[in-house]
Copies of this chain bind each other. A is one copy, B any other.
Amino acid sequence: MNVYFGENALTQLSALTYNYDKFFLLTDENIFKIYSSMIASMIPEKEVNKIILPAGEQSKSLDNVVLIWNKLLEAKAGRDSLLINLGGGTISDIGGFAASCFKRGIDFINVPTTLLAMIDASIGGKNGINFNNYKNQIGLFSEPKSIIINPYFLKTLNERDILSGLAEMMKYAFIADVAFLDIDGDNYLDFIEKAATTKDEIVGLDMKESGLRKILNFGHTIGHALESYYIDKDNYLTHGEAVALGMYSSLLLSKKYCGLDEKWLFFYEMWFKANLNLLNLTDFDVDSIFDFIAHDKKNKAGKPKFVLISAPEKPQIDVEVNESDIIESISVLKEKFSA
């Protein structure tokens, strides 16, 4: 797998697509509206079959996988076909899954358009869909042939989605590299390539998440539960916002279980309130959030295990946490961050 980065990264497309006969472009309505003419010029002189989904996490459904499979089948897609996933994490997640299961796998490449996808979701080969309201229950490990990270797309990204990406970048400070502690809404462009490389290096050491890769789940256990809880509600949370909240809970638990210095809680609360100021967390039911955690795929035999840290850059995986402490950490979130 190759990662291409920079303002000219998109020019790689014509070389990367040279060996294929049929092209399928998966994207969402919003992206297609903004970039349709640019998309047409991306692979000149080649016909591109377009598959356009509604925007948003709700599109990561089995129904839409079936829609993609039908489009591939109608156009007689085969081993010489390439799927180009142009969009945020929703698009690369569902597209990677659909491609990997079609005729035992056709090639796909990811062209992330959101900050979150550029520094996290499009890298690492995890793909999947939501099922019965649970996040990513159905999916695979399957790497794209290439990833093209072109910051050009961020110019049209709305501010809430930019800010959502910041939390996942701050995550790298806690689990891997304190350089990311300096990130804010003004300087984040300078950190994109470093963040993508950090993710790629961690994944490269443990593709199937048998150990080390789990550190990437810092903040994600409670984050996923929050995201699942709000998925069918009007006031949804973005993935980045949910993880930003989950990280606060994880820092709280890190203090109790791993002796994390309390100053990091103050630092992160201040950073959160300064940067994720578009987050509007409506009231929620703590027990319902906890119920989602019982289904979280990172639990073994039903016992909740967390990634925690004893200090920035010092992650610990598989820390067993008492149910009462989890519930308390969710209650604190509610006090501190809900409207």
A72 to chain B, nearest CB (A): 9
Q: Mark contacts of A292-330 with chain B using CB atoms, 8 A cut-off: 1 yes-contact digit, 0 otherwise.
A: 001101011110000000000000000000000000000
Tell whether A39 is near chain B: CB-to-CB under 8 Å.
no
C-alpha gap A302/B81 in the complex (Å): 11
A134-B73, A137-B69, A302-B76 in contact; A297/B128 too (CB < 8 A)? no
C-alpha gap A78/B293 in the complex (Å): 13
C-alpha gap A62/B131 in the complex (Å): 14
Q: Which of A92-142 contact B (CB under 8 A)?
A: 97, 100-105, 126, 128, 131-132, 134, 137-141
The answer, among B73, B100, B105, for a CB contact under 8 Å with A131, is B73
A–B complex contacts, Cβ < 8 Å, 29 sampled: A21-B300, A69-B131, A69-B137, A69-B138, A70-B132, A73-B131, A73-B132, A73-B134, A73-B295, A76-B294, A76-B295, A76-B302, A78-B297, A78-B300, A78-B302, A79-B300, A80-B300, A100-B140, A101-B138, A101-B139, A102-B137, A102-B138, A103-B138, A104-B128, A104-B139, A104-B140, A104-B209, A104-B297, A140-B140
Chain A residues within 8 Å of B, Cβ to Cβ: 21-22, 62, 66, 69-70, 73, 76, 78-80, 97, 100-105, 126, 128, 131-132, 134, 137-141, 209, 294-295, 297, 299-302
Closest 5 CB pairs of A and B: A103-B297, A21-B301, A80-B301, A104-B139, A101-B138
